Structure formats: C-alpha cells, structure tokens
C-alpha cells in the first residue's frame, strides 16, 4: 500500500477518531496526541490494514484501547472525560445560556456513567455509529449494545429530569 492509498483509506474518519479521543481524554492536546499515535501505528502496520473489512472500526477500537490505556497509566491521574462539540449561534442569549447549562449537566452525568455505557453513548449518540460497528469497537454483540445504551439513556433521562425538577443532581 502506497502513501496515497493509505491516506485515502484512513483520513476520512480522522475527525471521528479525534472526537472519540477527546471524549475519553481530558484535553484537546491529549486527544491530538492520541490521534497522532493512532495514525503512526496505522502507518507502521499499513500492510495489515488491507486485511480488515472495516478499517474505520479497527481504528476506532485502537483509539478506544489507547485512550483507556492512557487513563489507566500513571500519567493519567489528572485526566477526566470532557465533551463539547455543539454550538448553535442562531439562538438567543437566553437559549444559549440554558443550552450551555443543560449541556454541562448532561456532560457531568455522562462522565458519571460506567465506562462501557460512556463509550457506547459516545459512539452511538454522538458519532452515529451503527450497532454492528460499535460491536466491533467494544467487543460486544449488537443486542448487548442496545441493552447497555438503553440503560445508559434511561439513567441519563432520570437524572436529568430529577435535576430539572429539583435542581439537584
């Protein structure tokens, strides 16, 4: 595989890799490092890439594994989960403030989810992956993914409604 073929095969999902890395790591810098590391590993193993049916799923799985390794490492003691990729500039100031407050609340609630639920919510609801693709990334059957996603959404919905009604999380 030459450089042009490699670029055409792996670059279309570069932003998705970065967003997943950013979701799992604390900062943009850490996410850039993770993305760079992933693409370096893909380049080193470019001959093996052709054997995979879905290179994007393989890359996302590699990203997830790398980020989780970073979170578990000694230098990861300061890392947390963050997510902010939505802005609506046509809204009024009040709507922006309300959205920002709600988004921050939901971010915190997602951060509090168990690891598998957090990853599946990111991949399905933010990245819009299909269940089969998520299954390849996280190593679960589509049915188990649906159950996990349903439980995560139910937990988020209940906590959000409770917070909205009572002002406590």
**pLDDT per residue as tens digits for the range 143-153:** 999 999 999 99
Name the domain count of the chain.
2
Distance CA 55, CA 116 (A): 22
Predicted local confidence at residue 74, as pLDDT? 46
**Domain, as residue range, for 124:** 94-169
- Alpha helices, DSSP H, located in 3-130: 3-10, 14-24, 28-44, 46-49, 55-72, 93-111, 115-121
Distance CA 138, CA 132 (A): 10
Same domain for 107 and 58: no
Same domain for 76 and 3: yes
Predicted local confidence at residue 83, as pLDDT? 46
Predicted local confidence at residue 81, as pLDDT? 46
Q: Which residue has the tokens 């920002």?
A: 100
Distance CA 59, CA 39 (A): 9
Angle of CA points 9, 14, 62, to nearest 5°: 85
CATH of the domain at 143: 1.10.10.10
Could you report how far apart the first and last alpha carbons of the chain are, in Å? 52
Could you list the mean pLDDT of each consecutive 10-residue stretch along the chain, which spans 169 residues? Answer: 76 88 82 88 81 83 86 55 48 66 82 90 87 91 93 90 70
Report the predicted TM-score, pTM, of the whole model to 2 decimal places: 0.52
Same domain for 155 and 103: yes
Q: Which residue has the tokens 């799992």?
A: 24
In a domain, 118, yes or no: yes
In a domain, 141, yes or no: yes
Predicted local confidence at residue 94, as pLDDT? 66
Same domain for 67 and 122: no
Token reading at 99: 């959205």
């Amino acid at each position: 595989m030459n450089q042009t073929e490699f670029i055409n095969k792996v670059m279309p999902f570069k932003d998705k890799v970065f967003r997943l890395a950013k979701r799992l790591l604390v900062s943009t810098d850490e996410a850039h490092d993770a993305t760079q590391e992933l693409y370096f590993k893909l380049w080193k193993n470019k001959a093996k890439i052709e054997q995979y049916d879905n290179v994007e799923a393989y890359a996302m799985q590699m990203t997830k594994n790398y980020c989780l390794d970073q979170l578990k490492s000694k230098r990861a003691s300061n890392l947390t989960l963050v997510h902010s990729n939505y802005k609506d500039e046509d809204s009024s100031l009040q709507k922006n403030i309300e959205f920002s407050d709600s988004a921050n609340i939901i971010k915190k609630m997602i951060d509090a989810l168990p690891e598998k639920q957090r990853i599946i919510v990111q991949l399905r609801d933010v990245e819009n992956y299909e269940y089969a693709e998520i299954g390849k990334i996280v190593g679960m059957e589509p049915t188990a993914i649906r159950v996990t996603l349903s439980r995560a959404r139910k937990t988020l919905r209940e906590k959000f409604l409770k917070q909205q009604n009572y002002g406590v999380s």
